[in-house]
Amino acid sequence: MTRAVVSLGSNVEPERNLPTALARLHRQPGIVVVDQSRCYRSAAVGGGPEFLNAAVLIETRLGPAQVRTLLRGIESGMGRVRTADRNAPRPIDLDLILYEGFVGEIDGTMIPDTDIGRYAHLAVPAADVAPNWEYPSPGSLLKTIAGPFRNHIEVFMSSDISPGPGRYAPEQGMEATADEIHDPEFEATVRSMLLQLGEDPSREGLMRTPLRVAKAMDFLTSGYTGSLEEIVNNAIFESDMDEMVLVKDVEFYSLCEHHMLPFFGKAHVGYLPNRKIIGLSKIPRIIDLYARRLQVQERLTSQIADAVDQVLEPHGVAVVMEGSHFCMMMRGVQKQGTSMVTSAMRGGFRTNPLTRSEFMELIRD
């Protein structure tokens, strides 16, 4: 994984557009947002409405050109049209200003951004998230470069904007707090849905429902923003053990991609070690990584098996999942006692009937 710093700025409805951009950045596959600066208010360089600015430190396997293309896609989706006028008001600016190990030009823009040493709205937020990053010109740490600028930029301290994580984090909690905004665009969508259902989003019981739904959906789909490497976190250990390892009855919860209704149940994962074993807690975490996405149970089962196979390279992997689906229980045929069983067998579990039978017998006990 490579580190990079992305600068964010807006001077068109910035209190709405900046947190929206932050939320969208968090949801991008291939990017992990590691840290985030405070939000700052600054004058526009060429005159016009003042900006709100921030920066994020990311980790990614994407190259600098790919990250740049991804940022332009977010901008376009938010209505930003880039013109020759560099001082034109804009709903959002997303710029790759630092990329670890890279010095060069992409589409006419230098990385590292040469303006970091000239402007407070770039230097100060970047120093918040990467203070010890060495900027090649003038050859100082970012915190040193940003020091003289800090008296010339204002921290934006309004409760109306939350340049927070933009996705659910356990320490935040799922409940709504007064004046909190999590994802303005998503919350507006939920309000629209409530209106279409004939409800009144302004009544007491529903006033904070859009926020709660936005945070809940971010949590339930947080698997999109995780990575297998991040989950495993080097918890692979050498071992001479050559007998089956089984983790069974692991609860899982997911969302059916056809109706976005829950399905849930238990997963059983076994593997035949090939001189490597994995930390016990990592198997449930791998299950959650793929379950917290819009899914079908068949694909989910295969993805878990492939992930264990990838990180351990064992002699075999077996996954069996038993799930109950609300799309069948609450609607459609409305059958409450049914369950779905799926399996994925790799290596020795697929080729050796005795090994497969042993696994199936163990999960039945």
pLDDT tens track of the chain, all 365 residues?
Answer: 899 999 999 999 888 888 888 888 887 878 888 888 989 998 887 777 888 999 999 999 899 999 999 999 999 888 888 877 767 788 999 999 999 999 999 888 899 998 999 999 999 999 999 999 998 766 789 999 999 988 888 887 433 344 343 443 443 444 545 556 667 778 889 999 999 999 999 999 999 899 899 889 988 998 887 788 888 988 999 999 989 999 999 999 999 999 999 999 999 999 999 999 999 999 999 999 999 999 999 999 999 999 999 999 999 999 999 999 999 888 888 888 889 999 999 999 999 999 999 999 999 97
Q: Which of 182, 297, 303, 322 is catalytic?
A: 297
Query: pLDDT at position 229, please?
Result: 86
What is the helix (H) or strand (E) element at residue 300, kind and residue range?
Answer: helix 297-312
Query: pLDDT at position 334, please?
Result: 81
The residue assigned the tokens 């006028």 is 85
And the tokens for 327? 């799309």
Rg (CA), the chain: 24
Q: Look at residue 174 and give its three-state secondary structure.
A: coil
Strands 93-99 and 104-106: unpaired
And the tokens for 232? 């495993």
Q: Which of 134, 258, 298, 310 is catalytic?
A: 258
CATH homologous superfamily of domain 2-155? Answer: 7,8-Dihydro-6-hydroxymethylpterin-pyrophosphokinase HPPK (3.30.70.560)
Please state whether the peptide bond connecting residue 131 to the residue before it is cis, i.e. omega within 30 degrees of 0.
Answer: no
User: How many angstroms separate the CA atoms of 217 and 295, rounded?
Assistant: 14
Fold adopted by 227-364: GTP Cyclohydrolase I, domain 2 (3.30.1130)
Half-sphere exposure of 353 (CA within 13 A, CB side): 0
Task: Establish whether 182 is a catalytic residue.
Answer: no
And the tokens for 1? 């994984």
Q: Which of 256, 268, 295, 303 is catalytic?
A: 256
Give yes or no on whether 167-223 and 227-364 have one common fold: no
Q: Which of 100, 185, 259, 358 is catalytic?
A: 259
Fold adopted by 167-223: GTP Cyclohydrolase I; Chain A, domain 1 (1.10.286)
C-alpha distances in angstroms, 290 versus 300, 306, 308? 6, 11, 12
User: How many angstroms separate the CA atoms of 264 and 67, rounded?
Assistant: 35
Q: Look at residue 233 and give its three-state secondary structure.
A: coil
Single-letter code of the amino acid located at 190: V
Query: pLDDT at position 195, please?
Result: 95
Query: pLDDT at position 167, please?
Result: 42
Query: pLDDT at position 319, please?
Result: 98
And the tokens for 114? 């040469």
Query: pLDDT at position 44, please?
Result: 83
Query: pLDDT at position 77, please?
Result: 85
Query: pLDDT at position 162, please?
Result: 45
Query: pLDDT at position 28, please?
Result: 82
Contact (Cβ atoms closer than 8 angstroms) between residue 265 and residue 323 = yes
Q: Which of 134, 229, 251, 257 is catalytic?
A: 257
Distance of CA 98 to the CA centre of its chain: 21
Task: Establish whether 325 is a catalytic residue.
Answer: yes
The residue assigned the tokens 């799930």 is 323
pTM: 0.64
Half-sphere exposure of 9 (CA within 13 A, CB side): 28
Strands 104-106 and 40-42: unpaired
Query: pLDDT at position 182, please?
Result: 66
Task: Establish whether 257 is a catalytic residue.
Answer: yes
Query: pLDDT at position 181, please?
Result: 61
The residue assigned the tokens 């740490």 is 141
**Domain locations in the chain?**
2-155, 167-223, 227-364
Query: pLDDT at position 275, please?
Result: 94
Q: Which of 15, 59, 172, 327 is catalytic?
A: 327
Residues with Cβ within 8 Å of residue 106, at least 6 apart in sequence:
64, 65, 68, 96
